[in-house]
Each structure stands twice: as structure tokens, then as C-alpha cells.
Structure 1
Amino acid sequence: MIDRTQMLGLLAQSLAHADKDESLAARLCRASVEIMGADGGAVTLSPTTPERLTVSASDTTSSIIENLQEVLGEGPGQTAFSDGRTVITTVDDRSDGPFPMFTELAGTVAGSFTVFAFPMRPAGTTIGVLTLYATSGSLNHAVADAQFLADAVGAALLADPGSLIFMEPPTWPQRARVHQATGMVVAQLAVSATDALALLRAHAFAHDKTLGDVATDVLERRLRFSTDRTAGDRITSTDPLGDEEP
């Protein structure tokens, strides 16, 4: 396993090199695929139960996976959302698993692969699912790392950071600090303001802090997001409560 700061550093690095014309959901989806070494992936949000909306699919196979689950009413993503747990399913020439119709049809149209479905639950309640698939049957990092990444992506996608249970709604002074900190992250990473704010939210989730506290850390130079190759593509922090680096 890798620590949270390393995972957020990988996320920052991937977003810094993402296509700025894509939606935030698409950039986060592609970043997750890249970080985990998957062949493809999708992000599905569920604003109301049982409504599910696929907001991003990285490729045709990912679209097929999501469409089949929607039509059949079964699959790893559906179970990951309803049960709030990671679900891993192998799609091959056998249909004796927990999702026989899904695995049979998915195998027919897309061949053999493994599906990893991670509930996004940044505030303790599942808001959607990050689904990845890999023809190799494995990911670059441990399942626990992928689950943390999914939760961080969920935190980044929440439209209102004040809706997180561990974050207080920002006051006007806090909003000003968040705005300034967002601008500093934009300058550090050369990313869009949307991506910069997403990274601030993800960092707040990872360290159980308010968005205002993270903004203050950035403004007071205790936290810096960096993709400097000589710095090892990392997030550096001198905050004694964070992950300090020399």
C-alpha cells in the first residue's frame, strides 16, 4: 500500500497533464484509470436512489459494462453501490458467478477481463461508483488504495464541499481563502481552477480537514502541490499534523 499523500500526488500529477477541455468527471475518471493501471473505467453517480447516471466512461468497453448493468439490473457496480463495498468480478467463459447474465453478455461483447467496482463514499454515504476493468486481472495498487482513490474522487466531485459531514460550510472569509488557495494551486500545477478546487477537496477528505483549513495551509505555505520532476511528482507539506517531508 502507498500512503494518502502519495496517492494524492499521483492524482495531482495526472490532472496536471489532462485534457483541459474534458469535464472534471472525465479527467478524474482517466486519472483513476492511469493511476491504477486499468484498461478503462467509468464514474457513475446516484443523486437519487435508485437513479444512476454514468457521468464518464473512458472507452467503449467501459460504456458496455455500465449499459449492461443498467439494462440487466445486476452487476458489480450495482452491488457496490447498494452494499457500499468493493466488488470484484471476473468476466470469462463461465457464468456461475454472482452476476450470471452480466458476465455472460459482457464476455460475449468484450472478451475476458476483471471488473473492480469501488463505492465512492467520502462522507460515509455512497454517492456513486468508480468502476475499473483490467484484462490482466489485477491493478497497479492494492484494493485498499483504489478504495481510497474512489473516495477522494467522490469528494472532488461533490458540488458543495459544505455537504461533507466533516466539513463546515465555508463562511465568506473562508470562501475568499479557498478562492486564493485555488489560484495558487492553479499556478503550481498549471491546471484549471476546477481541477485545483477538486484537489483541495480531495486533500481535505484525505486528512479529515475542512476545506478552509486546507486553503489556509496552502496560503501559509505549509502545503504545496507540485509536479516538479525533481521533486518526485509529490505533494509536499510542512504541516506538523500532515505528512511532513524534509
Structure 2
Amino acid sequence: MDVPQLLGLLARSLAKDTVRPWAMRLCEACVDALGAQGGALTVVGGPGERVAVSTPGVFEDLEPLQEVLGEGPVPQAMAEDQPVVTHLGAVVDEYPVFSQLAGPVGDKVTLYAVPMRAGGQVVGVLSLYVTDDPQARSAQDLRFLADIVGASLLGDTELLDGSERAWLHRAAGMVIAQLGIGVEDALAVIRANAFSRSTSLRSVAEDVLERRLTFSLDE
């Protein structure tokens, strides 16, 4: 899947709901974009503190279980800064208690735990639960989406000076008009585009304001 297509799927999913908390909507957007059957976002809130949101269903207790046990794919991915892929029906030496307790959920479930980065640091883990062909999700798509989520959850717009914020929020206003989404979502779309192009927020904002870059749910 190419980057514009992945970003388009994410934007479409986010546009469906503008009411619930941002982290939950972002979590479900990731699940929708990659066709998973469940997912979770675990974010580092401070030393020894982690905050997790999960999509409702049979997988929602697995994230808290890993936090209680202190073992599992999520702690491993966070500690090693590497994606972890495991099958819930198999006992894993690195986390024997979790894999045994999680096994009854389903022996045909593949769990992807992918580190989310922002500012060069691991800020959390994106978890995706997949019951169909795991080959349909490329490692590149998973890493890219996880980093987009990390940047969106811990956006650096608060650190910008006043003039920079003015450019950014004017551009966000145009994205809001084009996609019919909220301010938070529009800023996330701009950040995601900047990340995918390896450019600055200012550059993307200028492209939007000059109409060199437009967004549409129909594209």
C-alpha cells in the first residue's frame, strides 16, 4: 500500500467520528486502515506510567494483562524498539505467562506490537490483532502508521512560536473545510503529510494555503 492510500484510509476513518476521545478514534482508525480485527494504543505517560486504550471486543483485556504481568509483546516492543509479531495460540519463552493466558482468545490470531516514535524516541506501542492473512500487512506499512500515530498523539504544535501557529491553524481551517473534520483531526492530517514527505509543518501548511495540496475523501 502506498503512502497516499494509507493516509487516505486513515483520514476517512477519522472523519467518521468527531465526538469520542482522540486516542480511541485514532486507535480504531488504525484498525480500519489495515483491516485488523482489534487494536490498542499504549502510550508512555511518565516514568513507570503507561496509558492504554483498546477497541472493544475479545482483545480489549490483553493490553491491561500485559501491564499487570510486566511481560508480553508490548513491553518487549517498547524495550527493544523493534516490532514484535506473535501468534496467541503459541507459548513464547520470552513471555510464558502472558502467552499461556492469552492463548484461549484464539490460536489463529496474530498480534503485531509496533513501537510508536516521536522526536526520535519511543513513546508507545501500536497493537493490532489480525485473524486473516498476516502477509497482507507489510512491515513498512505498520512502521509508518505507528510513527504517524506517535506524532499525532504527541504533536509538537505547542512548541511552535506564534507566527508558526498562525500558519498552521490557517491551513488546518482549509483542511477542515475540505474534509469536514475537527481541528484536532485536521492538524493530525497535516502532521501525517509532513512526516510522509520528510518535510516541515510550515512547508505543508504553505502548500495547503497556496492550494498546491488539497485533501478530499473522494480521492
TM-score range, shorter chain: over 0.9
Match of 1:3 in 2: 2
Shift in Å, 1:118: 0.6
Stretch moving more, 130-139 or 7-16: 130-139
Q: Does 1:79 align with 2:69?
A: no
Aligned mate of 2:214, from 212, 220, 224: 224
For 1:61, what is the secondary structure of its paired residue?
coil
Are 1:155 and 2:154 an aligned pair?
no
Matched residue count: 218
1:61 maps onto 2:58 in alignment = yes
CA distance in 2 between counterparts of 1:46 and 1:213 reads: 30
What SS class does the counterpart of residue 114 from structure 2 fall into? strand
Is the 1:42–1:58 Cα contact (8 Å) retained in structure 2? yes
Matches within 5 A, 1:68-217: 68-92=65-89, 94-108=90-104, 110-112=105-107, 113-136=109-132, 138=134, 140-161=136-157, 169-217=159-207
Amino acid at match of 2:150: G
Number of the residue aligned with 2:40: 42
Larger relative contact order, structure 1 or 2 (CA cutoff 8 Å, min sep 6): 1
Deviations 1:9-54 (A, max 9, x none): 22112212x2211111111111110111111000110032332111
Partner of 2:14: 15
**1:212 deviation in Å?**
1.7
Q: Secondary structure in 1 aligned to 2:127?
A: strand
Question: Displaced runs of 4+ in structure 1, greater than 6 A?
Answer: none
How far residue 141 of structure 1 moved from its aligned partner, in angstroms, is 2.6
Structure 1: any 5+ residue segments left out of the alignment?
A: 163-168, 232-246
2:28 to 27, 30, 45: 30
Distance 1:49 1:129 in 2: 16
SS at structure 2 position matched to 1:127: strand
> How far apart are the structure 2 equivalents of 1:96 and 1:200?
40
- Aligned mates of 1:209, 1:70 — CA distance in 2: 36
Q: Helix, strand or coil: the match of 2:118?
A: coil
